[in-house]
Structure 1
Amino acid sequence: MVKVLKRMGDGWILSFPSVEEALDCAEEVQSSLAEHDLIKLRIGCYIGEIVEDEADFYGNGVNIAQRIETEAPPGGALFSEDLFQKLSKERQGELSDAGVFKLKNIAEPIRLYQWRPANLTTAPTAGVLPTVGFESFTAAPDTPDAMAIAQDLHDSLVQWSLRRTGVTTIDTGNLETTPPIYLIRGRLRVAGTRARFTLSLILREDMSTLWTGTYEGDPSDPFAFVDGLMPRLEGDVRIQTVSRDGDRLAHLSINQLSVSELRARAATMFFKQSIENWEEGLRALDRAVLLSPGDGMALAMRAQSQLNLWAVKYIVPDPEALLQMAQDLDVAVEECPTSDFVFWARGAFRLKVQNDLAGAASDIARSREINPNFIGVVDLIAQKAFLEGDYSGAGEALSVYEEMGSHDPFRVNRLCFNARVFLGAGDFAKAHEEACQAADLRPMDRGLQLLKALVCEKEQDMVGLAAARKAAASLPHAPSVSINRLALPEDLEWINVALHPDAAPV
């Protein structure tokens, strides 16, 4: 018999005599409310002990069920793995693997399974966290030495993937238990002192190749070869999966997404490189924080998203908003002490907003300690060096992106930053080269034409200056996702002034 143990304003704690009845109740309630315009419930289910005294019900079972509920999508339900395992095979087929979650104040991560009404699951992988399956990497020739290097690349990449939050990493030998959404396939070819490693991201649904990267090096020292490739491999897999994964949920509105799905939506919007998409991503993160105010990753992502929009729009933030952002980032660090991204986000805030170089350096160090391969931290190192007047150091830090080439989704942004570093250093020839490349790649961006005009004027390229002025005059005054207001020394503030969205070409 179902019992109402406790009513807590907008939430109830219920107990059921069997797991099947718990699933039946969740499905019936949510299906009945699926078309309701206002009422959207979240349901979390867990098997655990409940303690009752004269005043209350409490215990580990209650605590974990509440934590699971905060991760559930509005209109849907999440179930713990132990509950899932007690269901019949037929009933298990109604749920999807939502991935492994680190719940607040719960020591061990827990795998959860998700259910939504049929009208919210029109996409085959809706509601599932990105699941990446690593196939065994191959080698040619298949000598023991070559195979050992391929195995080392495989194992190292899997280990770094396991550290990521919001992604489930599995061995492809477990396909029947957890079918992955994406497959990672690698092939190593060795000839003497040359080695070429090819890595591919494959959509398992139709086995289409979404992305392929090629990496070369000298395998004479296998350890140095693997260690040298790993930052690029880990960074590329991270970028390629994050930039694509939110599209699986494109058919759902943000009001239908869980906290983890809202974070995925926001990440995908960030990679789409437009003000409109960035604003949509920020709305998704606002919604995530509304659903789970203490979610550290959502707080950090929202802070970074808001900072990006302020920077490209040249908005001077309200002091109270900055104070709240600082508090949010401190909460994020406490809630996600093993996240390289969270420390990176706080480091960016300390550097760009607070001008706290020591604090930024501390966060950079912690982010790199957690994950030496996290390529995003390079931007902070370069910007810190730029702010300190160390132009060569800034350029050296950014050189890691040169090998990414066309695979770098932020290539134009890097070129713009490089151009401004060279401007600050007085190397107008290099600034001219970088800015002209950026403008050629995105010619309808007025901000890039302003940058091109600035460097052409400094380099005395009158033809280029005239062309950039003409192009800028024909384009609407609007913020550019490639031109952000940088934290600069006072003597270089003229660079920000010249690139303001409303500025006239020099």
Structure 2
Amino acid sequence: MRRRLTTLMCADLVGYSALMGENEALAVASVQELRRTHLEPVAKAHGGEVLKRMGDGWILAFPDVEEALDCAEEVQSSLADHEVITLRIGCHIGEIVEDEADFYGNGVNIAQRIETEAPPGGAMFSEDLFQQLSEERQQELNDAGMFNLKNIAKPIRLYQWRPANLTTAPDKGQLPSVGFESFVAAPDTPESTAIAQDLHDGLVQLSLKRTGFTTVDAEMLATTPTDYLIRGRLRVSGNRARFSMSLVLRDDMRTLWTGTYEGDPSDPFAFVDELMPRLEGDVRIQTIAYDGERQAHLDINQLSVSELRARAATMFFKQSLEPWEQGLEALDRAVLLSPDDGMSLAMRAQSRMNLSNVMFAEEDPEVLAQLGRDLDVAIEECPTSDFVFWARGAYRLKVLGDLQGAASDIARSREINPNFIGVVDLIAQKAFLEGNYDDALEALTVYEEMGSGDPFRVNRLCFNARVLLGAGQYEAAHVTALEAADLRPMDRGLQLLKALACKKAGDAAGLAAARAAAKQLPKLPSVSLNRLALPDELQWLNDALHPEAEPV
């Protein structure tokens, strides 16, 4: 047996299975064209050799890293305008062991996993390979962030490349990055400085767990460009502390968002624990919300799996039906590219449930069963993801009515990340279904500090109004429903909610106004009002707010 260290390249024809189903002759001709013209001859010219052909895929080896990079760039540039053929390429340095029959090695597994993260029409490279490139060649690649690759023990940083005609925007398609400056404390005492440092370190550690975002800590900011900066300032006076945090666009140092948080610092650990869920939630929400246009220049078919997930998340924050449908389309594409990608499966299941619920649609039982299977696969693939357990918990609660299963997934999500703010909604909905109205309302108080900075504020108001209606607290429901309708007066669903609350509270004038407004608006689903999992005695809430319903 022979061992050697080599530069490995894995290449895969995107959409081959679908093409075989539609036009078998064209699929076969495409593979032959790659063998004869676009891939194998170019690899040979750069000193590469074909180690294995696998129908629509190849494993190749190169004598050095720059030859592999040259080959990847040349192949993908030549295919950039091809009407049929789209390749994904992944490269890594690794040792292989060869005998007379085959070759083996963990490096091959890593290269194959890297290839699944590459954008169609582009290439992805491991950090090990990147570090062997000259500084000039490194400038051709973009830091795509840390990736948890299937069956690979540790996260790996990857670097991305696309042909010039696919990267017309300045960012060249790299994933977004956020840098955390050192937080300032005043007065500059050891106690206040320690609290500021704990807040900083906690946020950095939570940010490092995010997929689709690159996190840069303070000591690396001078040499590492990032898209965004997080700034923080802690002011302490006696038993009162105020922490201010800002999101800054690094390109022009413009402040995009600022949040302020207050508490009692006399117990520093309790103070940090109290603030951390809100801080982490705000950083997650605001960076996604402001990052929507980074890759708008790229067609959905040019995005990698992680980029498709990022686009879908951005679409969800737009809070209207068409972007939600576009987000689901992106996730369908992500699953097509990587059928066992757990995060894509979980996000797609959640997206489909969201769309179904705002449309008040009855889903095909087999479709719902498939969502359950997808979520189970996601749990297997992403056993340390707070989001994945949250998504399965939502499925168990809303689709299966499985309170015990939902409680188990909520507990696991919080065990993974006690500060994951998304799980709060699920806790509130579970409490509502159980008839624990006070607990449902209490769970959502964490959002009150966000105020206008919460992109889902209207959704929270709508949920609160329905909880209050279910609890018979009609005056409070009336106030909450009116606030929601005032924020989105052209949303017919909110006029239905306003009418219901006004009728229960005895507000005849408000009821007449809501009826008149609803009559003038089209019967369309409202993304602020989803069908809730409710006990039989409260189904009148769903009936009154159905998109086709008339005002009460």
Global fold match (TM > 0.5): yes
C-alpha distance after superposition, 1:289-321 (max 9, x if no partner): 000001000000000000000000111111111
- Measure, in 2, the Cα distance between the counterparts of 1:52 and 1:243: 49
Are the structure 2 counterparts of residues 126 and 211 from structure 1 closer, same or farther at C-alpha, using a change threshold of 3 Å? Answer: farther
Q: 2:94 aligns to what SS in structure 1?
A: coil
* Matched letter for residue 231 of structure 2: R
- 1:200·1:213 contact (CA, 8 Å) conserved in 2? yes
Are the structure 2 counterparts of residues 287 and 341 from structure 1 closer, same or farther at C-alpha, using a change threshold of 3 Å? Answer: same
Stretch deviating more after TM superposition (219-228 or 376-385)? 219-228
- Correspondent of 1:127 among 164, 173, 178: 173
- Correspondent of 1:232 among 274, 278, 288: 278
- Correspondent of 1:391 among 395, 413, 437: 437
Counterpart of 1:343? 389
Counterpart of 2:205? 159
Matched, 1:39 2:85: yes
C-alpha distance after superposition, 1:169-213 (max 9, x if no partner): 222322365422211110111222222111011111221111110
- 1:270·1:278 contact (CA, 8 Å) conserved in 2? yes
- 1:126·1:248 contact (CA, 8 Å) conserved in 2? no
Matched, 1:434 2:491: no
* Matched letter for residue 407 of structure 1: G
- Measure, in 1, the Cα distance between the counterparts of 2:202 and 2:302: 36
* Matched letter for residue 289 of structure 1: V
* Matched letter for residue 254 of structure 1: I
Q: 2:144 aligns to what SS in structure 1?
A: strand
Stretch deviating more after TM superposition (17-26 or 33-42)? 33-42
- Measure, in 2, the Cα distance between the counterparts of 1:129 and 1:370: 25
RMSD after superposition: 1.2
Shift of 1:6: 1.0
Runs of 4+ in 1 over 3 A off after TM superposition: 175-178
- 1:428·1:459 contact (CA, 8 Å) conserved in 2? yes
TM-score norm. by structure 2 comes to: 0.90
* Matched letter for residue 349 of structure 1: Y
- Measure, in 2, the Cα distance between the counterparts of 1:71 and 1:2: 22
Shift of 1:402: 1.5
Counterpart of 1:146? 192
Counterpart of 1:424? 470
- Measure, in 2, the Cα distance between the counterparts of 1:235 and 1:479: 27
C-alpha distance after superposition, 1:437-479 (max 9, x if no partner): 0000000000000010011111110000000000000000100
- Correspondent of 2:321 among 259, 272, 275: 275
User: Which ranges of structure 1 fall in alignment gaps of 5 or more residues?
Assistant: none
User: Which ranges of structure 2 fall in alignment gaps of 5 or more residues?
Assistant: 1-46
- Measure, in 2, the Cα distance between the counterparts of 1:156 and 1:46: 32
C-alpha distance after superposition, 1:346-375 (max 9, x if no partner): 000000000000000000000000111111
* Matched letter for residue 168 of structure 2: T
- Correspondent of 2:511 among 460, 465, 468: 465
Q: 2:260 aligns to what SS in structure 1?
A: strand
Counterpart of 1:321? 367
C-alpha distance after superposition, 1:32-53 (max 9, x if no partner): 1111222111000011122333
Shift of 1:123: 2.4
Shift of 1:408: 1.0
Percent identical? 78
* Matched letter for residue 270 of structure 2: A
* Matched letter for residue 114 of structure 2: I
Counterpart of 1:380? 426
* Matched letter for residue 370 of structure 1: I
* Matched letter for residue 336 of structure 1: C
- Measure, in 1, the Cα distance between the counterparts of 2:363 and 2:295: 32
Counterpart of 2:231? 185
- Correspondent of 1:452 among 476, 489, 498: 498
- 2:433·2:535 contact (CA, 8 Å) conserved in 1? yes
Counterpart of 2:104? 58
Matched, 1:258 2:296: no
Counterpart of 2:26? none
* Matched letter for residue 13 of structure 1: I
Stretch deviating more after TM superposition (70-79 or 7-16)? 7-16
Shift of 1:246: 3.7
Q: 1:133 aligns to what SS in structure 2?
A: strand
- Correspondent of 1:16 among 46, 62, 71: 62
Shift of 1:220: 2.0
Q: 1:404 aligns to what SS in structure 2?
A: helix
- Measure, in 2, the Cα distance between the counterparts of 1:386 and 1:245: 34
Shift of 1:339: 0.6
Question: What does residue range 296-335 of structure 1 map to in structure 2 within 5 Å?
Answer: 296-335=342-381
Stretch deviating more after TM superposition (53-62 or 492-501)? 53-62
Stretch deviating more after TM superposition (362-371 or 174-183)? 174-183
TM-score norm. by structure 1 comes to: 0.98
Stretch deviating more after TM superposition (207-216 or 274-283)? 207-216
Matched, 1:241 2:287: yes
Are the structure 2 counterparts of residues 79 and 177 from structure 1 closer, same or farther at C-alpha, using a change threshold of 3 Å? Answer: farther
Stretch deviating more after TM superposition (189-198 or 260-269)? 189-198
Matched, 1:209 2:241: no
Stretch deviating more after TM superposition (268-277 or 404-413)? 404-413
Q: 1:49 aligns to what SS in structure 2?
A: strand
